[in-house]
Structure 1
Amino acid sequence: MTATLDDLVDTLKAAAETSRLRILALLSRGDLTVSDLTEILNQSQPRVSRHLKLLLDAGLIGRYQEGSWAYFRIADDDTARDFVHGIVGRLNAGDPQIERDLERLAAVKHRRQARAAEYFSDNAASWDEIRSLHASDRAVEAALLKLVGKRPFQSMLDLGTGTGRLLEIFAPLYRRGVGIDMSREMLAVARANLDKAGVGNAQVRQGDIYAPPVERDSFDLVTIHQVLHYLDDPALAVREAARLLRPGGRLIVVDFAPHALEFLRDEHAHIRLGVSDKQIADWFSEAGLDLEESQEFEPRGGSEARLTVKLWLGRDRRRLIAEPTRAGERETA
């Protein structure tokens, strides 16, 4: 994409200032609050806010609300992201000011990870109890990676992202990843995990799975992993997810097959005791998706009293105009 002369000059002016370049360099490594940036830049809150407003007005960064906190990120627009990463990529990481900024950024991320570890510790027993009832996470993740394939794609959305694990394992494939979750505590865990894994091309935001705060027709891959059994209207969640897909995009749902473990409803807030193949097929069809594949993962030990994990892949029925492939090049998607 191109810009008019005046627009490009305005964009260059917005970025052409030391503090604002430092902000862009920091946000290229993850989402941050005004408080985070104030601490890292060692500047007053009004001054930092002024710089952020200029970058926002220029369309180089975005802002989203999470409870009482406002987070800032590099803009979702591909042109803006290319512009920012092009500039930031030319900065000398050995510059004394950049080095100090990155040291302070590391301290901010370390505190996030400490808070996440505390939350994990407080809830580990509950999660371990459920995890022991079904196939290993590693087996399911391996199947997901095989199903999606090795061909890079533009964008991924993980609805109900939880710990951010799917964003982490698919990070080498997508250019831009977004995770949505209602829980601020889980978002803190996801940010800490992504920071620890060195994933810089993904961000997480607070939002409702029934009305995700992202643009429609924007994602090549949408995932809903172990979320539907918590919802009172999973069909609506599937329809909303389908609306976010680009033509030909894929939706992957992972959840439990129907079961009779009532304690999960009583003690772990599960609304539905699993999801059947027919339900998924109906929901996909209503949402304009073709059900292309399903897989089943038996529980550990094969006990009937445990949980079977199911994986379903749906594809948007709209077709993209295929670009001609180079001689000898094979489609891998």
Structure 2
Amino acid sequence: MKEMASLLRIVADETRLRVLRLLSETPLNVTELTTILGLAQSGISKQVGTLKKAGLVRERREGLKTFYRLSEESEVPEEGRPLWALLMERVRTAEDSRHDLVRLAETLEKREGAAPGLHERLLAPGESWHAWSRMLMTLLPPMERAVDLGCGSGILAAELARVCDEVVGVDISSQALSAARAHAERVGLANVRFIEGDMTTLDLPDGCCDVAVLSQTLHHLPDPMTGLKVAARLLKPGGRLILMELLPHDEAWVTEKLGHLHLGFSATDLESMMEQAGFKITSLETLPPLRGERFRAVQGCAVWGERDVPPAAR
């Protein structure tokens, strides 16, 4: 009982709970915590010291810096473990009303030197391989060319290059494409190329692609139908569209921070837009939520230029 009472006294502080939430995502140092929380460094040091003394966080040295991580359940005093597990489950799923996770993403990008766009593991399912592994299974037959419209840092384009003779990645951001080219070079892919510019002026012939990918691209376009029409133009008859989009959400900060022009789309709206663009939907699935993701997504696959295809999955 004494250990539980002590644990309750320690966590009965909003700043400490915010620190625990951040450390549940990744180890951080005091300078990073100060930047994210917007509080005095002396105060953050004191709060982290209190959590460390209680056995709730652990420290490790990396060069001249000290990083703190969340303690594993087995490292917490035994009597307080059930309460600790319940507390952290609630902390991890609590509303991020102060946008700490947004600033955490920015901080991690500065640390890693990544291209602008925020750390997607925390903020969006753009690299959620639990989703894309299922979609990539549809790409096993040999293909000549795929196009990734709005390819960003090129992660999906690089994966497509493993099963296609050629992959073209298109994006309007020069910084994102620099990261994409560096990644392709690093993993030794010679059959992927990247084009900077507006997809509507893309200099590729009609009907030249077997697969077109739109992964979280439509919400960046003033008119989402534009992306679907470009994909339709580029696909051969029987070519496949692979699409992933965010479901409707209330995270209005993405407009300024990430350049989103739409706060997600319902599965019904996406179905209507794909059919309006001339696609026949073969699957459309709302993905289950995963802990740690700030958004939910819907993914779909559709065929261009064929009339007799299996009905869409519901």
- TM-score over 0.5 (shorter chain): yes
Correspondences of 1:269-308 after superposition (within 5 Å): 269-301=259-291, 306-308=294-296
**4+ residue runs of structure 1 moved beyond 3 angstroms?**
118-126, 133-136
CA contact (8 A) 1:207 1:213 kept: no
Give TM-score, length-normalised by structure 1: 0.55
- Among 102, 110, 131, which residue is 1:140 paired with? 131
**What is the match of residue 208 of structure 2?**
218
The amino acid of 1:137's aligned partner reads: S
Correspondences of 1:104-183 after superposition (within 5 Å): 121-122=112-113, 127-128=118-119, 130-135=120-125, 137-146=128-137, 148-183=138-173
- Among 163, 180, 188, which residue is 2:178 paired with? 188
Q: Distance in 2 between matches of 1:144 and 1:253?
A: 9
Give TM-score, length-normalised by structure 2: 0.58
Instruction: Give per-residue Cα distances to partners, 1:108-147, cap 9 Å, x unaligned.
Output: xxxxxxxxxx98945578622x53244562212312222x
Instruction: Give per-residue Cα distances to partners, 1:280-306, cap 9 Å, x unaligned.
Output: 122211221101101222333288xx3
Tell me how many residue pairs correspond in the alignment.
199
**What is the match of residue 302 of structure 2?**
314
Q: CA RMSD in A?
A: 2.5
The amino acid of 2:297's aligned partner reads: V
Identical amino acids, percent of aligned pairs: 28
Structure 1's unaligned 5+ residue stretches are 1-117, 321-333
CA contact (8 A) 1:296 1:311 kept: yes
Q: Distance in 1 between matches of 2:110 and 2:209?
A: 31
SS at match of 1:221: strand
Q: Distance in 2 between matches of 1:125 and 1:175?
A: 30
Correspondences of 1:30-69 after superposition (within 5 Å): none
Q: Distance in 2 between matches of 1:246 and 1:307?
A: 33
Q: Distance in 2 between matches of 1:125 and 1:157?
A: 22
Instruction: Give per-residue Cα distances to partners, 1:5-33, cap 9 Å, x unaligned.
Output: xxxxxxxxxxxxxxxxxxxxxxxxxxxxx
CA contact (8 A) 2:217 2:227 kept: no
CA contact (8 A) 1:133 1:300 kept: no
Q: CA deviation at 1:253?
A: 1.2
Q: CA deviation at 1:276?
A: 1.5
Structure label with greater radius of gyration = 2
Correspondences of 1:84-123 after superposition (within 5 Å): 121-122=112-113
The amino acid of 1:213's aligned partner reads: D
The amino acid of 1:168's aligned partner reads: A
**What is the match of residue 223 of structure 2?**
233
